[in-house]
Amino acid sequence: MIKKWWHDKVAYQIYPKSFYDSNGDGIGDIPGIISKLDYLADLGIDILWLSPCYQSPLADQGYDISDYYNIDPRFGTMEDMEQLIAEAKKRNICILMDLVVNHCSDEHEWFQKACQDPEGKYGKYFYLREKKEGKLPTNWRSYFGGPAWDDLPGTDKQYLHVFHKKQPDLNWENPEVREEIYKNINWWLDKGLGGFRIDAISNIKKALPFHDYEPDREDGLCSMDAMLQEAKGIGVFLGEMRDRTFKKYDAFAVGEVFNEKIEELPEFIGDDGYFSSMFDFNETIFGGSEKGWYDTTPITPDDYKKCCFDAQAKVANIGFLSNIIENHDEPRGVSRYIPEGDCCIESKKLLAALNFMLRGLPFIYQGQELGMENVPIASIDEVDDIASHDEYQVALEAGLSPDEALKIVSKYSRDNARTPMQWTDGTNAGFTTGTPWLKVNPNYHSINVAAQIEDADSIYSFYKKLIALRKNPIYKETIVYGALEPVWVEQHNLMAYYRKGEQILLVVGNYQREEQEITLPKAYKDVLLNNYHDIAKENRTIRLHAYQVLVLEMCM
Catalytic residue IDs:
199, 256
Those residues with Cβ within 8 angstroms of residue 381's Cβ, 6 or more apart along the chain or in another chain: none
Residues 81-100, interacting with ligand GLC (CB under 6 A): 100
- Parallel, antiparallel, or unpaired: how do β-strands 549-554 and 504-510 relate? antiparallel
Burial of 9 (0-12, 13-18, 19+ CB in 10 A): buried
Nearer to ligand GLC by Cβ, of 348 and 414: the residue is: 414
At its nearest, how many Å lie between ligand GLC and the CB of residue 450?
Answer: 29
Return phi, psi of residue 27, to 5°: -120, 125
SS3 253: strand
- Cα–Cα distance between 71 and 199 in angstroms, integer? 18
Answer for which of 329, 382, 384, 404 binds ligand GLC (CB under 6 A) is 329
Which residue lies nearest Ca ion, judged by its C-beta? 29
CA dihedral 154, 160, 161, 162 (to 10 degrees): 160
Among 11, 14, 27, 417, binds Ca ion (CB under 5 A): 27
- Name 300's Cβ contacts closer than 8 Å, sequence gap at least 6: 339
Question: Smallest distance, Å, CB 56 to Ca ion?
Answer: 15
Q: Of the candidates 4, 8, 25, 247, which one interacts with Ca ion according to CB under 5 A?
A: 25
User: Rg of the Cα trace of the chain?
Assistant: 24
Out of 4, 23, 433, 554, the only residue in the binding site for Ca ion (CB under 5 A) is: 23
* Cα–Cα distances in angstroms (integers) from residue 504 to residues 288, 378, 467, 519, in the given order: 36, 49, 18, 16
Regarding 479 and contact with ligand GLC (CB under 6 A), the answer is no
Report the residue from 200, 241, 311, 361 that binds ligand GLC according to the rule CB under 6 A: 200
DSSP secondary-structure letter at 118?
A: T
Instruction: Give the binding-site size for ligand GLC (rule: CB under 6 A).
Output: 9
- Before 376, cis peptide (omega within 30)? no
Closest by CA to 168, choosing from 256, 101, 222, is 101
326 makes contact with ligand GLC (CB under 6 A)? no
Strands of 62-161 (E only): list them. 67-71, 94-99, 128-130, 149-151, 157-160
Region of 24-32, 99-107, 409-417, 423-431 interacting with Ca ion (CB under 5 A):
24-32
Rounded to a whole number of angstroms, the minimum distance from the CB of residue 549 to ligand GLC is: 29
**Which one, 100 or 496, has the nearer CB to ligand GLC?**
100
Considering the complex, what minimum distance in angstroms separates the CB of residue 441 from Ca ion?
A: 19
Q: Which of 49, 63, 172, 252 binds ligand GLC (CB under 6 A)?
A: 63
Helix (H) or strand (E) holding 316: none
Residue number, 60 or 390, with CB nearest to ligand GLC: 60
Q: Of ligand GLC, Ca ion, none, which one does residue 25 interact with (CB within 5 to 8 Å by kind)?
A: Ca ion
60: partner contacted, choices ligand GLC, Ca ion, none (Cβ within 5-8 A by kind)? ligand GLC
Min CB(496)–ligand GLC separation in Å? 32
Closer to Ca ion by CB, 28 or 371: give it. Answer: 28
DSSP character at residue 300: P
Q: Which is nearer to ligand GLC, 140 or 163 (CB)?
A: 163
**Does 267 interact with ligand GLC (rule: CB under 6 A)?**
no
For residue 87, give Cα distances in angstroms to 345, 348, 365.
33, 32, 21
Name which of residues 110 to 149 contact ligand GLC (CB under 6 A): none
Task: State which amino acid sits at residue 82.
Answer: E
Taking CB under 6 A as the criterion, the residue among 21, 60, 106, 326 binding ligand GLC is 60
Residue nearest to ligand GLC (CB): 63
Query: 499-514 burial by CB neighbour count: b if 16+ within 10 A, else e?
Result: bbbebbbbbbbbbbee
Tell me phi and psi for residue 303, to 5 degrees. -65, -45
Question: Least CB distance from residue 251 to ligand GLC, whole Å?
Answer: 20
C-beta separation of 406 from 430 below 8 A: no
**Residues between 150 and 169 that touch ligand GLC (CB under 6 A):** 163
Four-residue CA torsion sign, 341, 344, 349, 352: positive
Sites of contact with ligand GLC (CB under 6 A): 60, 63, 100, 163, 199-200, 256, 328-329
Sites of contact with Ca ion (CB under 5 A): 21, 23, 25, 27, 29
